[in-house]
Chains A and B, each alone.
Chain A
Amino acid sequence: MAVPHVIADAAVVAKRNIIKIKRVPDLLVFTTLSPIMFVLLFSYVFGGAIDQQGGGAAYREFLIAGIFAQTVIFGATVTGAALAEDLKKGILDRFRSLPMAPSAVLTGRTFSDVVNNVIVLVVMGLTGLVVGWRIRSSWLDALAGVGLLLVFAYAISWIMAWIGMLVPSPEVVNNASFVVIFPLTFVANTFVPLETLPAPLQTFAEWNPVSSVTQAARELFGNIPPGTPEPTAWPLQHPEVYTLLWSALFLLVFVPLANAQYRVSTSR
């Protein structure tokens, strides 16, 4: 199969998934309303308690990169749930009877989830600006931060693609991923400074790639106030490299796994 076909076919499948974002009410809410809700809730519910002198302004600045990271990672569960849904309906049989590139089903799905995450980030970024978050670096740095978040989320969406092919229903994907992703995004520097965690959790959090992607985004957005002590753990001193290493590892392991599982699960 020629390479251009692989990409063109994936684009056709991605377009189908993107059309669905505006037609499926659940997805639309998930994509637009819940990010707004998260930014507002965390800013005003936790903000006052954590940052009493500043009235929450400094916390809101700290929070945004963390909530970006959490939301794009949760966005990857869409990949798994949607694929499990497709598997349940007849549409994958249709795809498989067509002379398209077989890999385009999964690639197209993960592509469209990048688009989904871009929408999510724009919505959250605008909400962030409303509550007082600012980019204090250059636009170029900020874009690099957004890019890093998208790359990391893309890698996670291949894990979810594998899970979506493995489990029997979309509900199971949602529940299973919740159990893993929720702790992973909370035992990190996403919502609280690492120094406040008990020692064992702190070590875990320092090596958790969710912390590094958050740290990288914070740095690139210029949201780390001057005078903040340097992190001591290597992953947080080199958050960009560490994040990219994990992303590459996820892709290397889960792209082949997901594709193999796709072949097994669809040819029953």
Chain B
Amino acid sequence: MDQAIAARGLLKRYKGVIALDGVDLTVPSGTVLGLLGPNGAGKTTIVRVLSTLLRPDGGSAEVMGVDVLSRPAEVRRRIGLSGQYAAVDEYLTGYENLDMIGRLYHLGARRSRARARELLASFRLEDAADRPTRTYSGGMRRRLDLAGALVADPPVIFLDEPTTGLDPRGRTDMWEVIQTLVAGGTTVLLTTQYLEEADVLADEIVVIDHGRIIAQGTADQLKRQVGGERLELTVADAALLPRVTEALTPLGVAAPTVDEGRRAFLIPVSGGPDVLSEALRRLDDAGVALEDVGLRRPTLDDVFLALTGRAAEPGDEDAPDEQGGA
């Protein structure tokens, strides 16, 4: 099986609002696809269609070669889903939650119990195993929810915004868990609003906006689309900026951007560290005192900004709310 997930022309409309407008996706086995976009872009809708929770108005999809629309029950045997809202029962203990999920995967009583204990141990939830999950922290609940998706060891896992709302510590914990999973050969489709997250976890990134794919490729390919490196610096006094502009403009491959308020100067360059040392030499000659200087490659934030004309801030209020049925 070379394609774990394949979708063609997915369409979904909610009361006149187009949620998915012809989405094609393929995820090779054993790889991670990061689905990136602001709230309401259609990420959750794609996950709900592929995990059999939602019927699209058009298009087709297969998971592990099984048709999602005509054989949903068989697809469910091959997938694990961990949602945006930790779908664990808050009055059940961690152990009871996982045991219940095992039985509903029809693993049988003995295997369900053993698997629950095993997962609690590997997700560092052993100490909390017999406490109702409403006493868990947000990060613990997310880990338990992810553990729930892994009970039957499915070959394909859908993770819908696995780290939204977690603190930085919880986020890096979660990343580690996901990376371990992928190292074991699981295929993962991950949605996220965090560009950094897609950069760290995904082999391939699909950028989606208004239900349409607007870019796709590896993180590096996407960054290259936006352009090469930029030289960024901050001067001690805004009055120095004209002198900086005069000294450095010849080094750039495009026009510089000057931000007087932040006393910042930015110019796209090519040539790597040599350009940086040449720039420093010129600034020294011009007698400009610097507070900060650096050469940086574009981040996925720059990618998103370039592609959509707006920043990829979590909680973009312009977009329809995906959860509210829009």
Asked if A98 and B96 make an inter-chain contact with CB atoms under 8 angstroms apart, the answer reads no
B325–A9 touching, CB < 8 Å: no
Q: Are B85 and A23 in contact (CB under 8 A)?
A: no
Within the complex, what minimum Cβ distance (angstroms) separates B104 from chain A?
4
Q: How many A-B residue pairs have CB under 8 A?
A: 76
Task: Find chain B residues with CB under 8 A from A8 CB.
Answer: 103, 106
Q: A182 CA to B77 CA in the complex, in Å?
A: 45
Please pick, from B81, B86, B96, the residue contacting A19 in the complex, using a CB distance under 8 A. Answer: B96
Scan B81-109; emit 1 where CB is below 8 A from any A CB, else 0: 10111111111100010001101111000
The 8 A CB mask of A16-53 against B (1 = contact, 0 = none) is 10011001100000000000000000000000000000
Report whether A19 and B73 are in contact in the complex, using a CB–CB cutoff of 8 Å: no
Tell me how many residues of B have a C-beta within 8 Å of chain A.
32
**What chain A residues lie within 8 Å of B92 (beta carbons)?**
16, 19-20, 23
* Known A16-B89, A23-B91, A24-B91: A93·B81 in contact at CB below 8 Å: yes
B148 close to chain A: CB less than 8 A:
yes
CB nearest to B93 among chain A residues? A19
Q: Do A20 and B91 contact each other (CB < 8 Å), given the known contacts A90-B83, A99-B106?
A: yes
A95 within 8 A of B: yes
A201 at the interface (CB under 8 A from B): no
Q: Is the CB of B54 within 8 A of A12?
A: no
Interfacial residues of chain B within 267-297, with CB under 8 A of chain A in the complex: none
A100 CB-CB contact with B under 8 Å = yes
Given A23-B132, A99-B77, A267-B53, also A9-B104 (CB < 8 A): yes
If over half of B's interface residues share one DSSP class (helix, strand or loop), that class is named, otherwise mixed; here it is: loop
A238 within 8 Å of B (CB atoms):
no
- Tell me, rounded to whole Å, the shortest Cβ–Cβ distance linking B11 to chain A: 16
A110–B148 alpha-carbon span in the complex (Å): 25
Report A-chain residues with C-beta under 8 Å of the C-beta of B79: 97
Does B76 count as interface, using CB distance less than 8 angstroms? yes
User: Given that A91-B88, A267-B55 are known contacts, is A97 also in contact with B76, CB under 8 Å in the complex?
Assistant: yes
Is A1 an interface residue, CB under 8 A from the partner?
yes
Determine the distance from Cα of A122 to Cα of B81 in the docked complex, in whole angstroms: 41
B163 within 8 A of A: no
* Assembly CA distance A193 to B67 (angstroms): 62
Shortest A92–chain B CB gap in Å is 8
| Chain A residues, CB < 8 A from B73 | 1, 99
Provide the A48-89 mask, 1 if CB < 8 A to any CB of B, else 0: 000000000000000000000000000000000000000001
The answer to whether B51 has its CB under 8 Å from any CB of chain A is yes
Q: Which residues of A contact B85 (CB under 8 A)?
A: 89-90
Instruction: Name B89's contact: one of A91, A97, A266 (CB within 8 Å).
Output: A91
Residues of A close to B87: CB separation below 8 A: 89-91, 93-94
Q: Which residues of B line the A interface, CB within 8 A? A: 51-55, 73-74, 76-77, 79-81, 83-92, 96, 100-101, 103-106, 132, 148, 325
What 4 A-B pairs are tightest by C-beta distance, nearest first?
A: A90-B87, A94-B87, A97-B81, A90-B85
Q: Which residues of A contact B (CB under 8 A)?
A: 1, 5, 8-9, 12, 15-16, 19-20, 23-24, 89-91, 93-100, 104, 266-268
